[in-house]
Each structure stands twice: as C-alpha cells, then as structure tokens.
Structure 1
C-alpha cells in the first residue's frame, strides 16, 4: 500500500511539473537594447505592458545608440533603440532595418550650478566644446576652469549634440561616460563642469543654459526654435512580428503617447510642427 502511495505521489508531481512546464513555455520575451536617452521611456512602458500581459516580458538595456543599431542588425536582439537614424551610423545597413519613431527628445547643455552663467551663444558653446574657451570668466561667468564631460563614442546623444552644436566636428578629448544619469551626477558635483543630456534626465541638481536666448523647452523643440533634438527610434530587423509588434503598437498607442511619453520628459511625435529627415533637412507638415 505504501509503495502504491509513493507511486501515486510521484505521478502527481510529474503531472504538476508538466503543467508548470507548459505554463513556462507560454511565456514570451523580447529584448530592447541601445539609447540611454530612450531607456527610461521603454522601461516604464515595458513595466506597464507586462503588468497588463502576464507571461510576456520586455527586457530593456542601455549601451548607447550604436550598440542598439549593431545588435538589432546582427539579430542579437529584437529591438534596437537609437537617437540616430540608422543612415547616420557607419556599418549599419539602414535598408534592412525598419524605423519606428516613438518620441522626440530635446537635448540641452547642462552645467554646474555655480558657473555664474545662464545664457550662451551657439558660437561660444561650440568654442567651449572645441577647447577654444577654457574659463567661464571669458564668457562673463565665474573664474573657474571649464571641465568638459562627454558622452562616450557611439552615443546618439553625443552625435546629435555634435551635429547641431559643433557642426559635425568632434569635441575635444575629455572624460567620457556611457550613462546619462552619471553625466548629470558628475556635472552636479564638479565645479566648472559642463555636458549635455536629454531633457528627460535634467533635474534640479544641475542648471541648463539657454542658447542665444532660446530656452530648452518642449514647445521650442516642436517648432525647431530649439534645434538640438532627435527622434527616438526603435528599430527592428525587418517588419516587426508577434510580441515585438504588439509591444511597439502599445508604445505608439494614443494612451501611452498622451500619458506616459509627456510625463517622462519626451515629446510625442504627433506634437511636432515640423519633420526632419536623416540629413537634417526640414520637412514642413
């Protein structure tokens, strides 16, 4: 009798494990990698999506736009997040990738609060990052050495900043950081420091500079009065299918665009008064 009970118990356990296995098999997951400027939005939407769709997972990682584009092109991930058009990145075959523009992000120069300056001309901002101006007193600010902090090579934020501020030139060699959050923290803690980051990462720990009297605001981005901005792209290798398509449809839904996108410091694409192609040419809507 005891032997029979043991056999029945083992048989029941086997059925339970088989049932669990089938439940686990029903789970689906995709991975989105790339732009740290876009990362907070994708992470937040992924959490919301997963809460409404148990068993479906969206893994979100940073690493920069270059990483996102190369990883999705190679097939290593389902989605490559990027601040850049694929056409702007060497080594990427843009024709094989499908672009999903999910938001717009403004990028602003951020500075340590004690530099004593609120506005800077675009010409002088360029000179700062090219190393031609080295002390804030040259611009009417405090007598402090300018400490430049750059995003790492491959960063879409850096490429956007260099394209629209440095006219395509490369900033002088300086400390580099992969993380937008770390950039903000170092600027906040370092006397004389300056860098740049997406609007969504700006906090009261740092100050922003207006450029030629124009403030870095969403409204100014939508009209292109503030020119330092980029589309936030989520690229797929070919047309999106299955869970990937479902998640992209979700992030582009009116509900998410109207609620979460704006709340996190991004601008819904629908609010842009103009369009810009990958070469920077303006297309009137």
Structure 2
C-alpha cells in the first residue's frame, strides 16, 4: 500500500507542478521590480488583482528605480517600477521602453521630531545636504549636529530630491539606505537626523519640513507649488501585452485609482493640474 500511495502522490505532485508551469508558459505569472516608493501601491494592487483572478500571479519586489529600469530593459522582468523617467538614467535605452504613469508622489524632507525645525528655505536645505550647514542652530533649531541620511545611488527618490533641491551641486557623503521605510525609522531614532521620503511613508514618528512656507501636501503637488514630486511609472519593454497589460490596466482602473491610490498616500494621475516632461518642463 505504501508503494502505491507514494507512486500516486508523486504523480499528483508532478501534475500540480506541470499545471503551475503551464500558467507561467501562458503568461499567468509576471514580476514587477524597482521603486520602493511605488512598492506599496504595486503590492496592494497585486494582492487585489490576484484575489479577483485566481491562478494569476504578480510578484512585486523593490530594489530601486535603477534596478527596475535595468531589469525590464534586459527582459528579466515584465515591469520595471520607477520614480524617474527612463531618459534620466544613464545606460537605459528609453526608446526601447514604454512608460505607464500610474500615480504621482510627493517627496518631502523629514527630520527627527526633536530638532526644532519645521520650515527651511531651498537654499538652507541645499546647504544642509551639501555640508555647508552642519548644526541645527544655524537654521533656527537646537544646538545639535545635523546627521545626514541619503537614499542609495540608483534610487529614484534620491534622483528627484537632488534634482529639485541641490541644483547640480554634489551631496555630502553620508550614510545611505535602500529602503524608504528604513530611512524613516533611522530618522525617527537618530537625534539631529534629516533625510527625505515620499509622502506615502510619512508617519508621526518624523516631522515633514515645509519649504519657504509651502507645505508638503497633495494639493500643492497638484499645482506644482511643491516642486519635489515625481511620476510613478510602470515601464514595459515595448507595448504591454497579456497579463502585464491586464495588471497595468487594473492599476489604472477606477477601482484602484479612486480609492487605493489616495489611501496609500499617492496622487491619482487624473487629479494633477499640471504635467511635466522628463526634463522638468511644464507641458500643456
């Protein structure tokens, strides 16, 4: 009996595995890799999509925008999630990729709750991140050393922040982190710390910083009064097809855009009152 049981059990397992393989062969499994700022939305949408489509799978991973763009260009994944336009990344053939803008995200400086600063000028912020200002008392805060924390190279969040704040100047070398969630935690736990994260990661553990009296809010992003923002792209190599297209269409559907996008701290594309091209110019 045991031999028969084992034989049939193995046969059944092979049938199951063959079925899984056939799902993959038919395009029933895709992978999206890249931006950690977009990851919460991608993961939530994937879970909902899979619930509504049993047997179809969307695997979501982080790694940063640079990773997402390089992986989708290489054909290693179906979707490359990115906070930046492909044209902004060296080594990426933007002409080979197709952008699907699925949301907009604001990016804000954050500080430890006890530094005593809630507003900075753009020049002060630039001087902090280039190392010209090193103590919070120089900008109206406590007599406390400033501790810089940057996102890692390849991060779309870092690219966007430096583009609109540093204006071509080089950031001072500092500790770097890949994860937005880890950045928030380190700033919350480290006296004198400052960094930057997308709006969707802000919690009461840290203090978002206004710039020249303009608060980091969705409404200010929509009108471009708050300029540190970026599109959230899902890039495909060529036009999206099959399950990849179905998933991206689902992310852009009213079901996701009208509820999930806003709930997670993103801005639906339809609510933007301005548009920018990859060079940062406002377009009609």
Could you state the TM-score of these two structures normalised by the residue count of structure 2? 0.94
Deviations 1:186-232 (A, max 9, x none): 00001110000000011110001110000000000000000000000
Contact persistence 1:223–1:273 (CA under 8 A) = yes
Shift of 1:171: 1.1
For residue 51 of structure 1, report the CA deviation from its aligned partner: 1.0
Pairing partner for 1:24 from 20, 24, 36: 20
Gaps of 5+ in 1: none
Q: Structure 2 matches for 1:194-233, cutoff 5 A? A: 194-233=194-233
Structure 2's unaligned 5+ residue stretches are: none
SS of the aligned residue for 1:100 comes to: strand
SS at match of 2:45: helix
CA RMSD of aligned residues (A): 1.8
Q: How far apart are the structure 1 equivalents of 2:149 and 2:105?
A: 20
Match of 1:186? Answer: 186
Equivalent residue number for residue 273 of structure 2: 273
Q: Distance in 2 between matches of 1:43 and 1:17?
A: 29
Larger Rg over CA atoms: 1
Preserved CA contact (<8 Å) 1:26 1:55: no
Distance 1:17 1:94, change over 3 A: same
Deviation at 1:170, TM superposition (A): 2.5
Q: How does 1:90-105 map to 2 (within 5 A)?
A: 90-105=90-105
Q: Deviations over 1:127-178 (max 9, x none)?
A: 1101111100011110000100000001000000000011132311000000
Give, in whole Å, the separation in 1 of the partners of 2:188 and 2:7.
62
1:244, distance to aligned residue in structure 2 (A): 0.6
Q: Give the 5 Å matches for 1:57-96.
A: 57-96=57-96
Distance 1:14 1:153, change over 3 A: closer
SS at match of 1:99: strand
Look up the SS of the partner of 2:115 in the other structure: coil
Q: How many residue pairs were aligned?
A: 280
Residue in 1 aligned with 2:242?
242
For residue 115 of structure 1, report the CA deviation from its aligned partner. Answer: 0.5
1:109 correspondence with 2:105: no
- The 8 Å contact of residues 163 and 169 in structure 1, kept in 2 or not, is answered as no
Structure 2 CA distance for partners of 1:135 and 1:58, relative to 1, 3 Å:
same
> Deviation of residue 40 (structure 1)?
0.6
Equivalence for 2:171: 171
Tell me, in whole angstroms, the C-alpha distance in 2 between the residues paired with 1:207 and 1:13. Answer: 57
- The whole-number CA distance in structure 2 between the counterparts of 1:193 and 1:14 is 57
Q: 1:179 to 1:15 in 2, by over 3 A?
A: closer
